[in-house]
Amino acid sequence: MYGWERRRLGIVARRRHEATKSANKSSPSSDVAICSEDATFFDPHTTYGMASALEPAALLRRIPFGEVMRLALFGNDERISAAKALSIGLVSEVVGRWPRFLDGWARLGQLARDPVEGYACARVGYHRGLDRLRQSGWRGSGYVRSSHPENRGFLAALEGLRRTAAAIGERDEADRCAEFLVQLDPHPEGSGNSTLPG
């Protein structure tokens, strides 16, 4: 289990390797649950002669009844792979080997079930992007051009944050994001206004 982290709005649950009892508790209560490609989900209660009650009840809000019963009744012998967890709705996205891939967060936000989930994904991508920019020497001002492929994920996450903030009524934040986008890249690639060649 890799853990979970609270964001300003929404909870993102992250799973890595084997997710057991406590992971299955936090996954259904999360707005977004992501896992690595090698993650497996299981409930070991019955293997050790314990009742499995809280986790299955919580999981029923997210995955089909049959899947919940298999997990609850077969203990360590029933494991759900990352691909299966994605297909049944236990996780929102299987993040591969590169969870710091900013474009992945932006796309996850675009595929969200509702604006709040999209907002949470975009916010994670935005903050990871700010961290990456700062590690590269950016000091909070100056251009971050879309003509550079390494900037596109961050800019897409910022645009997603602008869009979803507006959708949930955070007008001030949406306006700040729109202004920030123009400051970072006044003539984005593909806008027709670019002064860049070709």
How does pLDDT run across 38-57, given as a tens digit for each residue? 778 888 888 888 888 888 88
Q: Tokens at residue 116, please?
A: 């709040």
The whole-number average pLDDT for the span 64-84 is 86
Within-domain flag for 146: yes
Locate the DSSP E strands across the chain.
3-6, 11-15, 18-19, 32-35, 40-41, 80-81, 93-94
In a domain, 192, yes or no: no
| 168 & 141 share domain | yes
Task: Rank 10-14, 94-98, 168-172 by mean pLDDT and report only the highest.
Answer: 168-172
User: In the listed set 45, 66, 94, which residue is the last one of a domain according to the structure?
Assistant: 94
**Which of the listed residues 74, 94, 114 is the one where a domain comes to its end?**
94
One domain, residues 78 and 116 = no
Average pLDDT over residues 63-79: 88
C-alpha 92, offset from chain centre:
7
The verdict on 77 and 10 lying in the same domain is yes
Check whether residue 90 and residue 110 sit in a common domain.
no
Taking residues 60-76, what's their average pLDDT?
87
In a domain, 195, yes or no: no
Count of structural domains within the chain? 2
What is the domain range of residue 27? 3-94
Alpha carbon distance 177, 185 (integer Å): 12
- CB-based contacts of 66: which residues, under 8 Å, 6+ apart? none
Identify the three-state secondary structure at position 140: coil
Which pLDDT score is estimated for 22? 42
Is there a single domain that holds both residue 162 and residue 109?
yes
Residues 72 and 110 in one domain: no
Q: What are phi and psi of 40, to 5 degrees?
A: -130, 145
In whole angstroms, give the CA distance from residue 121 to residue 11: 10
Q: Which residue's entry shows tokens 């006044």? A: 186
- 189, part of any domain: no
End-to-end alpha carbon distance in the chain: 47
Find how far residue 20's CA is from the centre of its chain.
Answer: 20
Tell me whether residue 193 is in a domain.
no
Which helix (H) or strand (E) element contains residue 178? helix 171-184
Judge if 125 and 49 occupy the same domain: no
